Structure 1
């Protein structure tokens, strides 16, 4: 037996061929890269130390998802804005249509009101005409002779022509009157000048009974020398007078407002 048989071997274990090849390949690649870099750059160039990080697949997915979500939100907001604009436009159109309809309805009602007023006025005029015709055709009554003639006819015709005019204190025509202004103007048609004030008018002429009136007589309210209102008797138990601001010039029955007395000028 050899004297070295029991001494352990000091040789390193063999490496496998695959590991040796792998390490050689890596080393060769590194050396090749260094060689290329050295050949490309100047001899005294400093080694490149900057590290470039390449994006990972996970970060690309996240950025893509974020971009897609942002685009979807933008599209949704644009759709909402467009829908709101459509709704606002439709509301504006409806508002314009409603306003036009309301205006047309208001104009229709105004036209109907004017037409109704015109019909009422026409009926009132026709009624007054019929009443005057009836009074003119009527014969004697308890108020005496009813048919106006001569100067009295002119006074009565003028007074009746003013029916419907307004009452204005101190006015003497032609479209508004007070009581004495109307009486004075009516008598002027017959060529008779009367004082302006009612108390002076009732103090003229001859006092007559209310049961013996004739067309053209002056009716007064109050005392004869201190009357506060006058009117003209037109026959048939009626008088014409500028009564007050509410009624204007009207033709009324003596029973409507019984006078205090009467005077005859003609």
Structure 2
């Protein structure tokens, strides 16, 4: 055996002549067809076969979507917080309004209660004052009754020497002697003590207060040792006197004493006054 008998040949086997001719014919036919097609129609542009690589955006898009979601969530939280704050503010405003209304109501109720208490206290004070004046007048009446035996000597027909306005006041007061005493009386035929004094001063266009308490402070306080006709005498303390009269001179006064005696003219010794005021 040859030393090259086992080495395969590297040469291609010969093709069959008939097959080769057939393939050449087919190829020629194809080329003829392409040539005919090219002659029959316009030249066609060659198709673009270049490949364009698109950038990868998956990672960036994911980050943007996450950021957008986070921003949306934050806006939602902010809106929820704002809604809670507005609701709390509304509730607080309603509570404050209600508290204010309640405070006003309580203040008005307190004011009414204080006014009522003040009115009741004033009514009690006035009642006590009336009771005091009534007791004082009762005492004065009893004193008048006990000295009735000497009342004729105490009553005189003293003719006042007063002049001017004082003379008019004295003359009016003396003209009412003998009239009846009636609580609250202001004339013309019945009087209480302050009603008589007020009417006497009105004859000279002097408008005195209506009650004894006020009349006892209507002028300048004077000593009982320095009296002048027309001075107002009072019994009790200044500002809370329970009885008044008019000094007519000669140590005598005219006053609406009580329901038993009516309007009388008496000596100061009959019932010494506490003090006096001078108006003229």
Q: When the two structures are superposed, what TM-score results if normalisation uses the length of structure 2?
A: 0.44
